[in-house]
Structure 1
Amino acid sequence: MGRFLALSHAIDRLNGGVSVIASWLVLFSCMISAGNAFSRYMFNASSNAWLEIQWQMFAGIFLLGAPYVFKMNEHVRVDLFYGSRNDRQKLWIDVFGLIFFYFPAVIFILYLAWPFAISSVYSGETSSNAGGLILWPVKMLLPIGFFLMVLQGVSEMIKRIAALRGEAPAGEIAAYEKPLQ
């Protein structure tokens, strides 16, 4: 189990590093939004590129930040059965959810996203808007983001199995994760 936990921690570090990029995209997006508003109102000058780069950055924020949010156990969870359970029962619910819901959904989206992104790269797809940007970089974020989500799911599965086996504390699945409540 030690090697699996080492893999889990490596995945956590990878997604933690990628989340820094997502954090910087938040700042850049805000700066671009403010700069665009300033130039539009002060100089009556704007470009569709400024608007498009904002939504492209939002895609990066979401797709690159989601695996870290999952790692930190800050994702949306339907708390129908979960909240009133003890730690061990929560671990079993998580394992069941990962196997039967999370992995099928995320892998299916990854399967669909790859050809979508690759066709955009091969065609050199650009926006149809005047002054628009190239689109393939943002479309490549789809398979990248969902691949990172698959990796984080593997990490979370390893941690939960280790906790069920008594090889990791059930209340602290990851080093920086809040304890399960």
Structure 2
Amino acid sequence: MPRSIIIFVRLVDRLNYGVGRFAMYLLFVLMGILLWSTISKAGGAPSLWTLEMAQFTMVGYYILGGPYSMQMGSQVRMDLAYARWSDRKRAWWDAFTVLALIFYLGVMLWGAVDSSIYSLTYNERSPTAWRPYLWPVKLVFCLGFFLMILQSLAFLFRDIATIRGETI
């Protein structure tokens, strides 16, 4: 494989590993928000912002953790025949399926970018009492989908290397 592709794959892996490790700590932020919500409700003065902030934090946790989950291979797979195949046959199948994944993620990224542009242009706000701006969470979607596309491309390059009898 060309050196530039090897550098790309290693850089994407390092980037998604770091973002994924950061995203794991968002679970603690979420717990803090929910704890504050519980305390404020028990104190008789419920906070308006806690429910939506918990939802936004969960979006970041889920979307930014997605590429890391892909990288670690912790997604659910159904491998009735896959486990018995050779590495090369698995690489052919993975290269085919990752192309479908890249197409799907591309459509999702397109929708996220379009929605983010709308949100930024019109200062879109949530219709709740707290009324936060929605563009920050929409940008998180854009970033997450972009990182997933990069991780999918890294998988594709690894599969091509395996088909060629090389490793990255």
Aligned partner of residue 84 in structure 2, secondary structure: coil
Shift of 1:79: 2.3
Question: Percent same amino acid among aligned pairs?
Answer: 34
Letter in 2 for 1:123: Y
Give the whole-Å Cα distance in 1 for the aligned partners of 2:83 and 2:45: 52
Give the whole-Å Cα distance in 1 for the aligned partners of 2:131 and 2:48: 6
Matched, 1:105 2:114: no
Shift of 1:4: 0.7
Shift of 1:145: 0.9
Partner residue, 2:122: 123
TM-score computed with the length of structure 2 as normaliser:
0.92
Shift of 1:35: 1.7
TM-score computed with the length of structure 1 as normaliser:
0.86
Change in 2 beyond 3 A, CA 1:132/1:46: farther
Shift of 1:27: 0.9
Judge conservation of contact 2:40–2:47 (CA < 8 Å) in 1. Answer: no
Shift of 1:131: 2.0
Letter in 1 for 2:65: G
Partner residue, 1:71: 71
Partner residue, 1:11: 12
Matched residue pairs, number? 167
- Which stretches in structure 1 are left out of the alignment for 5+ residues? 174-181
Partner residue, 2:147: 148
Matched, 1:56 2:40: no
Q: Which has the higher helix share?
A: 2
RMSD: 1.5
